[in-house]
Chain A
């Protein structure tokens, strides 16, 4: 099987993109390491607060002109950006595999999802329209218009380095705002590539800026008086206790999409083969580093006696373990590989600690991800195989906490009611899936489950670009979500005009 060529060689020296210029930072530089090969592939600046402030100043300066640019002219830039992304599809995808570790199929999927955001944002001339009503009183008309607000900050996560900032930036820019993106310092290359294309697409200087960095940049973003809103995707503690709280204190709009611990519920009438196939990508896709990943597989015995439930559970779990054990692990640019490494060694350590915790808590280790074969001759630092635990109960840490790695917990519930209660026992509410042939059970599930994204015979309940990426409880902080119409509302202020002519 072919190993695809890396799209660049050597070590990239990354810069910030501010006011249409590529600028160096005075901050320290950190290595960006390819987690499959452990080679340094780039050096990213950890920018200073002053450098971030300069980007906001540039964005604020160009904002009045950009706002006055007709929506149709604004989206023409996005049409060109979309075309450039298609043209560079393969390069963008391979960069993601190099910087993050995901497989090439996963990277291409991420590129596609990112492009879809740009495509939907090109509909802004329609999406941004207000509404009106004549004669609300004698000779008086009333109408609503949507106006941009100014400059927004976007904080990207490491797990989808290309796609996630695109959940927000195209909508912000198309509605007439300007943005400053802070990519994850762990894998910032693809955001730099996007802004190279944005520049080529003719998006004016200062409208779409990228400032690399860490906590100082985030801190500056949260406190800056000219930042009207912040979009954040990352962990619950940072999202809830830092970003959401400080945006509240400084009067900013905020979208915080945070952690998760998602359940896949398997009903007795589920098609086991297709359920397990769907679960493989859901549990182990992106090496489990995904907020929509299912982590707990809940086999439900609704209507079954104890012996039948045991037999059904065994069928499901055996098929799950068998499929998990066949996943090929290695460098994502190898087309034979189905699961790449975790992003870095610290994340491996975290997953290892949870595997140990599961053992200590009394769960049965059915498939041990610490033992695995690599299809390539590579350093093993960031790799792990799929782990499957049985005899997991809801109180165990491995069932409650977000592991963010390839660890699956097998659980049992006697009825759908009991399954829903278990889901509601989790503080998170990002996603949940049900696998069934029964419309009644599926409807009951979607009606009652307190999660923002529901999958019915779908392992990864990922909303398309024209729907909001929802989330509830500790998985989301804010009012409006990213993507689709909600993003348009987030990035615009509604103004009502009541008009009479004498």
Chain B
């Protein structure tokens, strides 16, 4: 079920939080599975970069979002929430399964907000699409780690 119209601030906070949780998750994976440390640690850094890029885009274009009005409607943020807790002793296969679920949820989120912000300044949907693309590539790489 969708929530009422969501403010731009709420969308950006969700994105910031999602990237922070993703970064933490991959950092934990890097410690638990040292054979893939480089990949996981690199993805954690990518998440931080994505967060910075989305926030910067938002701060630079918020006036455009305001002019266009309440554009983020028909979304339920709860639908994109993914459990990223790693139980002690989790094996690689299950951990990668969680990573796949995380990426799929995040891709859906960024695609949906990009679609809903299509009428705004082009830099706004572009920023969301860029993160979705980064995460799609990561999803492909996750398959190769299994």
Contact = CB atoms under 8 A, between A and B. Distances in A.
A127 interface: no
B70 interface: yes
Main secondary structure of the interface of A (DSSP, over half): helix
Nearest to B77: A1
B35 interface: no
Interface of B: 4-10, 13, 58-60, 62-63, 65-71, 119
Given A2-B13, A458-B67, A103 B7 contact: yes
A277 B69 contact: yes
B67 A460 contact: yes
Interface stretch (A40-48, A331-339, A379-387, A422-430): A331-339
Contact of A281 (B59, B67, B119): B67
Most chain A C-beta atoms within 10 Å of own C-beta, residue among B4, B59, B65, B71: B59
Contacts of A326: 4-5
B62 A112 contact: yes
B7 A337 contact: yes
Given A278-B67, A458-B67, 13 more contacts: A106-B66, A112-B62, A112-B63, A278-B68, A278-B69, A280-B70, A281-B69, A323-B70, A336-B10, A338-B70, A459-B67, A459-B69, A462-B63
Contacts, number: 69
A95 B3 CA distance: 28
Contacts of A112: 59-60, 62-63
**Tier of interface size on chain A:** 20 to 34
Interface in A89-122: 89, 103-106, 108-109, 111-113
B59 A89 contact: yes
Given A103-B7, A105-B9, A338-B5, A280 B69 contact: yes
A323 B60 CA distance: 27
Interface of A: 1-2, 4, 86, 89, 103-106, 108-109, 111-113, 274, 276-281, 285, 323, 326, 328, 335-338, 458-460, 462
Given A104-B9, A328-B4, A337-B7, A109 B62 contact: yes
23 contacts: A1-B10, A103-B9, A104-B9, A105-B9, A105-B66, A106-B66, A108-B59, A109-B63, A109-B66, A276-B69, A277-B70, A281-B66, A323-B70, A328-B4, A335-B10, A335-B13, A336-B6, A337-B7, A338-B7, A338-B70, A458-B67, A459-B69, A462-B63
Most chain A C-beta atoms within 10 Å of own C-beta, residue among B6, B13, B67: B67
Contacts of B63: 109, 112-113, 462
B91 to A, nearest CB: 34
